[in-house]
Structure 1
Amino acid sequence: MTHAADPRNGGEASTERVPAYRCGKPATVSGSQPMPLPRAGPQAATMGVIVLATDGSEAAGAALEEAIALARETGDTLAVITVWRALQDDFGLVFPPGAPLEALLDAERLHAEATLAGAVARAGEEGVEVEARLAAGDPATMICAFADEVGARLIAMGTRGHGHVVSVFVGSVSAAVVKQARRPVMIVPAPAARRPVHARRAVAAR
C-alpha cells in the first residue's frame, strides 16, 4: 500500500550521529566502522525490513538492486520510499514559463509516483515482498522517520546519482541520513563512480 505525506508536515527523526563513509562498493555504516551486512539464507529466522530510498537516479537504481539481492537472501521485506521537496527541482523536471502552481505540483507528484512504482515493480519481478511510501518533505527526515516506523534493520540509498535527473541524493541527503539514522545505512554509488575491484577500499567521507 502506498501512503502519501502532506508536504506541509515533516516527520520526526533521531539526532544520533553515525560517522559517514564512502566506499567503492556497497557497505553498511554502523558505529565508527563500515562493515558488510551479514547475509543469511532465504529462510533466515531473523527476517526483517530493509528500507530503500529511491529518486529514480542511476545511483538509486544501483541501491535498489543491492537491496533486492539482500532481501532475497535474508527473506526481508523491502520497504521502498520516494521523497521529494515541493518546487525544489529535485527531479529536474522542465516546465514552460508561467505554468500554474497546481500543474507544477501535480507533475512532481506524478513523477514521484512513477519512480516509486518502477522500483516496486522491479522488486516484485524478483519475488521480493514490498511495501511502499510516497512522501513530500525533507528527504533525510522522512527517510529516517519511515525507517523508524517500519523498524528497518537497514537503510539503502544511492549517492552521487548524476544522470538525466537532478538527484536529491548527491551527498548532502545521504550524509544527513547517516547522521540522523538510528540503524545501519548502506550507501551505494552509481555504477560509473565505482572503482575497479582491486582498488576498492572504504574511506572516511570528508
Structure 2
Amino acid sequence: MYDRILVPTDGSDQPAVVRHALNVAELADATVHALYVVDEKALDYQPSESGRKETREARREEGQAAVGDIAEAAEERGLEAVTAIEEGSPAETVVDHADEVDAEMIVMGTRGRSGVDRYVLGSVTEQVVRRSEVPVLTVNLERQRRAVRDDETAVERAKEVLADEGHEVAEVPEQPYRESNTWIVRAVTADGDTFNVHLDAASGESRVAKIRSE
C-alpha cells in the first residue's frame, strides 16, 4: 500500500496530524519521514551576520525538536522513522523532498502557526496539494481543536468558555459527565457563582447555564 509516508511539520503542536500519519503507517508497516522546512523568507534577518546565523540556528534547533518528537512517537509504535531539516520555500521543498525519498503519501494539517517568523502551514498544505504527484492526506486541525474527546478536555474548554464571558473558574467540584453527544461541566467561579457548561462533543459548541449565585 504505502512504504514511505512524509509528515512535514512547522514546529507547532499537531498531535492529530501525527496520529493520523502513524495510524496509516502502522497499517501499512511504512517508514515515517518527518520533515521540517526552514523558510528563508520568513526568517527574521538581523543587520549583522552573527545575528542572521543565530536566527537560522534557532529555527533548525526548533526543527530538530519537532521532527524528533514525531520520530519518537513512531518508534513507540514499532515503526521506522527518518528525520530531515531542509531550507527553502516550504511547499516546494515538501514536494521535492517527497520525490527524493519516494514518499507515497504526505500527511499535513490544514492550519498551523502564523507570524512574522512562521509560515502558515494551512497555506503551505494547499500549495502542496496542488503540486504533489502523490496523495496528500489533510487533517482539519481547527475541527480537531474544537472536538471534546474526554473529561480533561471538557474541563479546559469549559474554563475557556467562562473566561470568554468574564468569569474566573475557582473550582470544578465534580467530575464532568457526558449525556449522549454533550459534555456537562459544573464550575464554580471566583465570585461564588455556579454554572453548568454544556459542550457538544463533536463541534465543541457551548451553552452556559447559571444555576446558583452567591
TM-score range, shorter chain: 0.5 to 0.7
Within-5 A mapping of 1:31-180: 46-59=1-14, 61-86=15-40, 88-89=42-43, 100-162=51-113, 168-180=119-131
Residue 134 of structure 2, aligned match among 174, 178, 183 = 183
Deviation at 1:167, TM superposition (A): 5.4
Q: Cα deviations across residues 144-202 of structure 1 (Å, max 9, x unaligned)?
A: 11111222221001121259997534422111101110011011122215697878xxx
Stretches of structure 1 lacking an aligned partner (at least 5 in a row)? 1-45, 200-206
Secondary structure, aligned partner of 1:83 = strand
3-state DSSP of counterpart to 1:66:
helix
- Between 1 and 2, higher relative CO (CA 8 Å, sep ≥ 6) is seen in 1
Deviation at 1:86, TM superposition (A): 2.7
Are the structure 2 counterparts of residues 143 and 67 from structure 1 closer, same or farther at C-alpha, using a change threshold of 3 Å? same
Deviation at 1:56, TM superposition (A): 2.3
Residue 75 to residue 137, structure 1, CA distance change in 2 (3 Å): same
In 2, Cα distance between the equivalents of 1:101 and 1:178?
32
More helix by share: 2
State the alpha-carbon separation in 2 of the partners of residues 172 and 86 from structure 1.
Answer: 16
Maintained 8 Å contact 1:113/1:134: yes
- Higher mean C-alpha displacement, 154-163 vs 112-121: 154-163
Report the structure, 1 or 2, having the larger strand content. 2
Task: Output the aligned Cα RMSD.
Answer: 3.0
**Greater radius of gyration (CA):** 2
Q: TM-score, normalised on structure 1?
A: 0.62
